[in-house]
Amino acid sequence: MGNSALKSHLETSQKTGVFQLTGKGLQEFPEELQRLTANLRTVDLSGNKIEVLSATIGNFPQLKSLTLNSNRLAGIPSEIGKLKKLETLSLNGNRIQQLPPTLGQLKALRTLSLAGNQISEFPSGLGTLRQLDLLDLSRNKIQNVPAEVSELQAIEINLNQNQISVVSAEVSRCPRLKVLRLEENCLELSSIPQSILNESQVSLFSVEGNLFEVRKLRDLEGYDQYMERFTATKKKFA
């Protein structure tokens, strides 16, 4: 990509606070963006070939949305934790295996989307994200949903297409959780905590494509209570 094209993008971004450069074969995070640290609010570099997210990402205090879907990122620098105004972090379709502990410092974060990576353990330390609405960890390699999940403030947790065979009953204690997606995992009916049905706030519990027939859920204690929540929510949005 020519310097003149990049220069023109930078000039536009200076005025709009938005830098979008997708599908251009970029191999690194453009250092030229450092000129815009004071006013850049949105960055979208999806569909490139970026392997490393530079530590300089921490220099953008006004950033509200960072999207790097479909790149080649293997990790996230700890400096990400400096982005105190960040509301959306979308890193779908990369090669990320672990998250830095500093991610828990993103107090304004509402959407954390990490679908289609190589995460094998449910991320810890996300309970401090009090504004979190959506956590998308679909299409990873997670095998276990641990007790620590109860600390999450998320309204929706998407764990479709992992390798999950164990779900802690503590998931039912998530204070704001309304939508729990566990489609296409390795769950037996006996692995489903009944507390999700009769003690949680969950009104959409999605478990198609596991090792049992979905209609067998009806046999579990608490199914009627779950269906009351499901129906009430459906009416609300009808």
Task: Give the C-alpha separation, 95 to 105, whole Å.
Answer: 22
Residue 38 in domain:
yes
User: What is the separation, in whole angstroms, between the first and last Cα of the chain?
Assistant: 48
**Residue where a domain terminates, one of 117, 148, 181:** 117
Residue 6 in domain:
no
Q: Report if pTM > 0.85.
A: yes
* CA-to-CA dists, residue 197 to 135, 162, 180, 206, 207, angstroms: 21, 22, 11, 12, 13
Residue 142 in domain:
yes
29 and 77 inside one domain: yes
212 and 138 inside one domain: yes
Residue 3 in domain:
no
Give the confidence band of 7 by pLDDT, cuts at 50, 70, 90.
Answer: confident
Q: Tell whether the model's pLDDT for residue 237 goes beyond 90.
A: no
139 pairs with which residues across the strands? none
Chain segment 35-48, per-residue pLDDT in tens: 999 999 999 999 99
**Residue where a domain terminates, one of 89, 117, 145:** 117
CA-closest candidate to residue 161, choices 221, 84, 93: 93
45 and 27 inside one domain: yes
Model pLDDT, residue 87: 98
The distance of Cα 218 from the centroid of its chain, to the nearest Å, equals: 30
Chain segment 23-39, per-residue pLDDT in tens: 999 999 999 999 999 99
87 and 132 inside one domain: no
**Domain CATH number, residue 230:** 3.80.10.10
CA-closest candidate to residue 194, choices 164, 169, 227, 224: 169
- Return the biggest CA–CA distance within the chain: 65
Q: Which tokens hold the place of 115?
A: 């679908």
58 and 90 inside one domain: yes
Residue 5 in domain:
no
Task: Give the C-alpha separation, 166 to 71, whole Å.
Answer: 31
Report the chain's C-alpha Rg in angstroms: 20
112 and 166 inside one domain: no
**Residue where a domain terminates, one of 117, 146, 179:** 117
* Residue whose entry in the numeric block shows the structure tokens 């204070």: 175
Number of helices (H) and strands (E), helices first, in the chain?
A: 3, 11
105 and 210 inside one domain: no
What burial class does residue 4 get, using C-beta atoms within 10 Å of its C-beta: 0-12 exposed, 13-18 middle, 19+ buried?
Answer: exposed
Model pLDDT, residue 3: 66
The range of the structural domain enclosing residue 56 comes to: 11-117
Q: Which tokens hold the place of 114?
A: 């990490």
